[in-house]
Amino acid sequence: MRVIPSSICPHVALQEPDVAASEVLKAIIVRSNFIPGIRFQLGWRGVKDCCFASDAWTMKLAGYSGVFGIRRATVVEQDGVSVGVFPVSYFPQPDEDIVESFSVQAGLITQLKEYKTLLREYVKHEALCDAFTIGAVHVAVLPDGTGFTLGLESSSRLASVAVDGVVAGEGTELAEVIAAGDFDQNIPAWDIAYDFFRVLAASASYCMQHQPGRMMQRIREGRMVHYTAKGACYAVPDTDEHEKQLVLEYGTIPDSANTVLHDPSWSDSLHDLWCRNEQVPEEYAEEAWWQSLPDSQHKSLDKKVLGIVDKPRLIILTGFLGSGKTSFLREFIEYQIARNQFVAVVQNEIGKQGLDGKILGQEYAVTEVDEGCVCCSLVGSLKAAAIELTQIFQPDYIVVETTGLANPANLLSEIAELEDLIVFDSVTTVFDAEAGVRCLKNFEVARSQAAMADTILLNKVDLVTQEQLALLHEEIRRMNPRASVLETVHGDVHPSALESDVPRNAREKRMPLLLTDLRNHTHDNMSSISIKLPKEIEREAFETWIQALPEKVYRVKGALTFIGDENPSVVQYVAGRYDITPHPSDAMSDFLIAIGQNISESEIQLVV
């Protein structure tokens, strides 16, 4: 049977042995998450790439409350075959029972306040990788792209013994954490890693539209690690446990190529468990990887399979800088997930490139596929992106999230071309209640955002008085008497508010008038400046500087490492209010950007 990996990833990548194994794995993970119904059946519950590593992902799986991670360790060429090793980790929830099976060090990491934040970019933290790795996935791709293997290596148990025990505390307050000779770690690694592998293998069969043609394995005696208080570490045989490799073959791999898969650390070669036209071993008979296409029986289904032709609803989400669009969008997505709806979020930021642009085409790039949404950056035309999104992801909603300085009128000409693809629900505009009146007074873009809206959300109403709120209502009503106006805190409003109560024909009558005003931020003389940073910055001096910024500086954002701090802090400033929040990563470079009206570098120079 001829199985061609080039059907799911670029052929040119398969011709590069130092990347081919990674490209095949990436294609399997990304493409199996396109359709909500298929994704759920396969067992995925969310996938996110790690921004600081192009071949690393975190993901959620059915049946597990914790987070899995997979990363590239090595991809090398062996006799023309691309061979990759990808360690698999499992990061349990702090209150999971399985935490007790991990080492003391791993248990302490799960209790850190920043634990969940660290997981998003776990590949940058060696301690996380070491403490939570449970096995490795192996991928080997033939040089002509006609076949590949997908394998798992792990131990039935990853066990370590503290020969001298472990104590914690200081001075006379020492307490025994592990008794001498007891387990520090005793993880059922194979069981956990195998649950991850079965989802990955089922995804491979789905993407290739072929089941494996061969299954191989090898088993050897397990090993148990012992360590002493003096730092000595050694492994001893463990006859009660075993280490195992399981390999699935897609296509026909010549025996000469299979010799490449031989690991010199194993004394035995892989041997066949099953070949095509044989009866599948009972232990593996029910695995989903024998099905090239899952049955569509989940509540979130592949609409094309069912012949459903309903169009996704389109929402343009706009609002001035710092108004709270992201907070509202988070609430909206969570609401739709609870209703088994799928959301495609398109950020209108021309020029951004994502990691999977080669796979998905040139009109948009996927930056995240989660349980209920796909997040993209627009890198081409909105129409072309909408066509691809509807064909590949079949979303129930498409939300176009514009930048804070965007005039939504500039999108309406494109939306008019999408009537055969989508149902245009509404333009929803978010206003910062405290800064709203000032925005409407000073910025044409803000006035256009208000005038264009079908629904207006007055966010952060907890920060203003009733008198201030009444004045903002009055200003908005003067500019747009037709819009539905709702008050909210932290963007928390029922998402059904986005479904406009303005009749479609009434909205269409307004469009010709609104389309004549296509002003953008350049008409308001709005610009951004990258602020030069001194080599050393005292936090107190910085706060003095930021509090004295002129009113025409509307937004400042960036990251700074203050004197005495190991890690940078994230700076967010909007219309006189600011937050400085510690960031857990030390890999972020310092930078600071100011956005304002008629601003110059000299008048906002950071002098400390």
Report, as an integer, the average pLDDT of 71-75. Answer: 93
Please state, as a whole number, how many other Cβ atoms lie within 10 Å of the Cβ of residue 424.
20
Residues constituting the chain: 608
Nearest CA-CA partner of 570 in 555, 558, 586, 562: 558
Q: Please give the helix or strand (H or E) that residue 505 lies within, else none.
A: helix 504-514
Residues 402, 500 share a domain: yes
DSSP 116-138: HHHHHTGGG-HHHHHHHEEEEEE
How far apart CA 420 and CA 454 sit, in angstroms, is 21
Q: Are both 319 and 371 inside the same structural domain? A: yes
Domain assignment present for residue 357? The answer is yes
Token pair of 519, please? 């002003």
Q: Give the span between the Cα atoms of 41 and 435, in whole angstroms.
A: 47
CATH (domain of 332)? 3.40.50.300
Q: Is residue 174 part of a domain?
A: no
Quick one: average pLDDT of 221-235?
Answer: 93
Residue 21 lies in a domain: yes
Measured between alpha carbons, how far is 244 from 74 in angstroms, rounded to an integer?
20
Mean pLDDT, range 250-254, rounded to an integer: 78
CB contact at 8 A, 490 and 324: yes
For residues 583 and 398, the model is more confident at 398
Indicate if 537 and 499 belong to the same structural domain: no
Q: What is the mean pLDDT of residues 438-453?
A: 85
Q: Measured on CA atoms in the order 432, 438, 442, 448, is the torsion positive or negative?
A: positive
Residues 417 and 375 in one domain: yes
Confidence of residue 195 (pLDDT cuts 50, 70, 90): very high
Angle among Cα 368, 374, 379 to the nearest 5 degrees reads 80
| pLDDT in the model for residue 5 | 61
Q: Are the C-beta atoms of 508 and 469 separated by less than 8 Å?
A: no
> Do the Cβ atoms of 366 and 46 come closer than 8 Å?
no
Residue 493 lies inside a defined structural domain of this protein? yes
The crossing angle, in degrees rounded to 10, of helices 20-31 and 189-208 is 80
Question: What would the pLDDT profile of 534-571 be if each residue is shown by its tens digit?
Answer: 777 888 888 888 888 887 787 787 888 888 887 788 88
CA distances from 515 to 407, 410, 482 (A): 10, 8, 17
Residue 45 tokens read as 């519950």
Average pLDDT, the chain: 79
Same domain, 389 and 516: yes
User: How far apart (Å, rounded) are the C-alpha atoms in residues 116 and 106?
Assistant: 13
* In a shared domain, residues 236 and 128: yes
Residues 518 and 533 reside in one and the same domain: no
Same domain, 259 and 334: no
* Pairing verdict, β 423-432 and 313-319: parallel
pTM of the predicted protein model: 0.59
Among the three residues 523, 557, 592, which one is the final residue of a domain in this structure?
A: 523
Q: Which residues contact 127 (CB under 8 A, 6 or more apart)?
A: 105, 109
User: How far apart are alpha carbons 208 and 6 in whole angstroms?
Assistant: 10
Three-state SS for 268? coil
* 265 & 331 share domain: no
pLDDT confidence bin for 436, thresholds 50/70/90: confident
Residues 94 and 235 occupy one common structural domain: yes
Check pLDDT > 80 for residue 76: yes
- The mean pLDDT value for 518-538 works out to 67
Q: What is the C-alpha to C-alpha distance for residues 320 and 459, in angstroms, rounded to an integer?
A: 11
Q: Which of 497, 523, 549 is the last residue of a domain?
A: 523
Q: For residue 591, what are its two tokens?
A: 């930078």
Structural domain total, the chain: 3
Domain CATH number, residue 534:
3.30.1220.10
Q: Is residue 285 part of a domain?
A: yes
Task: Give 547 or 262, the one with higher predicted confidence.
Answer: 547
% the chain with pLDDT above 90: 30
3-state secondary structure 46-86: EEEECCCCCCEEEEEECCCCCEEEEECCEEEEECCEEEEEE
Instruction: Determine, yes or no, domain membership for 164.
Output: no
Secondary structure letter of residue 399 according to DSSP: E
CA distances from 108 to 114, 281, 416 (A): 12, 41, 55
Kindly state the average pLDDT of the residues 525-532: 74
For residues 373 and 252, state if they share a domain: no
Query: Which among 485, 500, 523 is the end of a domain?
Result: 523
Measure the CA–CA gap between 179 and 176, rounded to whole angstroms: 7
Strand 233-250 and strand 364-369: the pairing is unpaired
Q: Is the pLDDT of residue 359 over 60?
A: no
Residues in Cβ contact with 150 at an 8 Å cutoff, skipping those fewer than 6 apart: 137, 138, 139, 200, 201, 204, 247, 248, 250
Q: What is the pLDDT of residues 459-518, one digit of tens each?
A: 889 888 999 999 999 999 988 888 889 998 887 777 665 655 443 433 443 444 344 444
For residue 176, being part of any structural domain is answered with no
Q: What pLDDT, on a 0 to 100 scale, did the predictor assign at position 258? A: 54
State the residue range of the domain holding 244: 5-159+188-290
Provide the terminal-to-terminal Cα distance of the chain, rounded to the nearest Å: 69
At residue 299, the pLDDT reads 38
Per-residue pLDDT, 32 = 85
The fraction of the chain above a pLDDT of 70, given in percent, is 78
pLDDT(360) > 60: no
Whether 271 and 229 map to the same domain: the answer is: yes
Residue 35 maps to a domain: yes
